[in-house]
Amino acid sequence: VVYLVVFHLSFVMFVWSYWKTIFTSPASPSNEFCLSKADKEQYEKEERPESQQEILRRAAKDLPIYTTTASRAIRYCDRCQLIKPDRCHHCSACDICVLKMDHHCPWVNNCVGFSNYKFFLLFLMYSLLYCLFVAATVLQYFIKFWTNELPDTHAKFHVLFLFFVAAMFFISILSLFSYHCWLVGKNRSTIETFRAPTFRNGPDKNGFSLGCSKNLREVFGDEKKYWLLPIFTSLGDGCNFPTRLVIMDPEQLTVSSQNEPAKSSGANQPFPTRPLSESQNRLLASDSQWVESGPEEENVKSGSLHRNTSDDS
């Protein structure tokens, strides 16, 4: 009876998570990131990249954008004709910009991003449990097969095939699930692992990391009772993300003994200075600053932490 309950429960959760991962539409940037009609016409008329960037900087001055391209340019999608929020990327398969895009998964024929990343993780977890359950229940018959204790019937081939398929899928899914658990703990996407987001002080692969506990809550939400259910509970709107990155004045970066906050860099500063208020994100309400242990975070311990709102590219 216990086996049947576990089997049906894992199968139902597996199918539910898989369904939600497939049929949840990827979230796209809101209209505030689209250029106005006048700016769009002016942008298309300009031929010099410098002039186009000036138009984009002017349009993005009130947007919660904290990352740029590697060449320090405003991230703009010519295909969708919008300024990309932080952690947002254009998917060539879906032909849309996807908020906090992780990757396009051919197994679910959908983009994995802000809107369905939790569902994707649960799909991997329940797939893992389902394969483990199948392999464990067939193991005793598999052992009997090798010891010649299994009756000579056609079931021999079925037992052998079922055990190896379940074991192979378990090993492959385990590696993928472990990798994404590591990504959640670091608050990174797969894209950010291969190409770190560029902030004012340069690329920082841990720029959006708030500490393991808060990183987990950002994906699964505050209510732990909903963590194992494939219902959307992620914090934020996909366009705005807090960051622990300290934006320091370039001269202050060379002085390790000072603990002063960042200063403004001038009118040409492409990064908005508007911080994310506590009322906008619950993750900011409990602590005055983010702390993440490890040698990678030593570069942020010398300043007060700056909170932002954004997605990546």
pLDDT at 291: 36
Q: What was the pLDDT predicted at 153?
A: 65
pLDDT confidence of residue 88: 96
| Joined tokens for residue 137 | 């229940």
**Local structure of 152: helix, strand or coil:** coil
Strand ranges in the chain using DSSP code E only, listed in sequence order: 76-77, 82-83, 89-91, 96-98, 103-105, 110-112, 198-199, 202-203
Mean pLDDT in residue range 284-308: 38
Phi/psi for 294 (5° steps) reads 115, 160
pLDDT > 90? residue 146: no
Give the 3-state secondary structure of 83-119: ECCCCCEEECCCCEEECCCCEEECCCCEEECCCCHHH
**CA–CA separation, 124 vs 18, rounded Å?**
9
Mean pLDDT of the chain: 79
Alpha-carbon distance of 239 to 220, in angstroms, equals 17
Most confident by average pLDDT, 27-31, 155-159, 275-279? 27-31
Query: 212-220 and 117-146 helices cross at what angle (nearest 10)?
Result: 100
Q: Provide mean pLDDT across the span 199-205.
A: 89
Q: Is the C-alpha dihedral spanning 40, 46, 50, 54 positive or negative?
A: negative
Q: Residue 298 above 50 pLDDT? A: no
Q: What is the pLDDT of residue 158?
A: 79
Q: Per-residue pLDDT averaged across 132-160, rounded?
A: 78
Burial of 37 (0-12, 13-18, 19+ CB in 10 A): exposed
- As a whole number, mean pLDDT of residues 59-73 equals 91
Report the amino acid identity of residue 219: V
pLDDT at 281 over 70: no
Give Dmax (Cα) for the chain. 82
- For the chain, helix (H) and strand (E) counts, in that order, are 7, 8
Q: What is the pLDDT of residue 102?
A: 96
Mean pLDDT of 136-140: 85
Q: Kindly tell me if the per-residue pLDDT of 198 is higher than 60.
A: yes
Query: What are the tens digits of pLDDT across the range 176-194?
Result: 999 999 999 999 999 999 9
Decide which of 265 and 180 is more confident.
Answer: 180
Active site residues: 105
Burial 217-251 (b: 16+ CB within 10 A, else e): bbbbbeeeeebeebeebbbbbbbbbbbbbbbbbee
pLDDT reading at 264 higher than 80: no
The amino acid at 248? M
Q: Is the pLDDT of residue 275 over 60?
A: no
Query: In this predicted structure, which of 133-142, 148-157, 212-221 has the lowest mean pLDDT?
Result: 148-157
Helix (H) / strand (E) element for 38: namely helix 37-45
AA identity, residue 201:
N
pLDDT for the residue 258:
37
